[in-house]
Structure formats: C-alpha cells, structure tokens
Amino acid sequence: MSAAAEDLAIAEKKRVALSYLAEAWDSATAEGVDPEILAHAALFTALADLVLIYGEEPVAELARSLPDRIRAFEFSVDRVVQ
C-alpha cells in the first residue's frame, strides 16, 4: 500500500471513529450526562488506552505538548481566528 493510500485509510478510520464518538456523546447527553463529565471520562479513557499502548512516558510527553496546542486553537472547533 502506498503512503498516500495508507494516509487515506487512516483518515477514513479517524472519520469513522469520530462519528462513533459523536453518536455516543449525543446519546449520553440525551440521557442527562453533563458534557464536562463526559469530557473528563473521555479524556481518562483516551489517556488510559494510550498508556496501555505506548507507556507512561510517551503519553506524558504528549500531555506536555497540549497547552501549546490548545493555545494554538488546535481544539477550538467553533472559534474563528482572525
């Protein structure tokens, strides 16, 4: 498989994963779970899975990069940067 084809396959898997997560999120909020509680649970689950896969130190390095990425609007989906 070429690098371009592999990138497309990964992008499609990410799209499907986000679709599943959005559906689960919507179901939970419809059941009355507060979004901030969902966010904490999602972060815990994601970090725990990453630690299982990569170990503590690589995940700690990822976490150390988050403040700059947050400030760079990488996670601000509703914000328009001028």
Q: Residues 56, 17: one domain?
A: no
Distance CA 28, CA 67 (A): 27
Whether 23 shows a pLDDT value over 80: the answer reads yes
d(Cα 39, Cα 30) in Å, to the nearest integer? 15
Q: Are residues 17 and 53 in the same domain?
A: no
Structural domain of residue 65, as residue ranges? Answer: 34-82
Kindly tell me if the per-residue pLDDT of 57 is higher than 90: yes
Query: Does 41 lie in the same domain as 3?
Result: no
pLDDT tops 60 at residue 59 = yes
| 57 neighbors 69 (Cβ within 8 angstroms) | no
Q: Is the pLDDT at 78 greater than 90, yes or no?
A: no
DSSP 8-state code for residue 77: S
**Taking CA 10 as the corner, what is the angle to CA 7 and CA 14, rounded to the nearest 5 degrees?**
135
According to the model, what pLDDT value does residue 81 have?
55
**pTM to 2 decimals?**
0.78
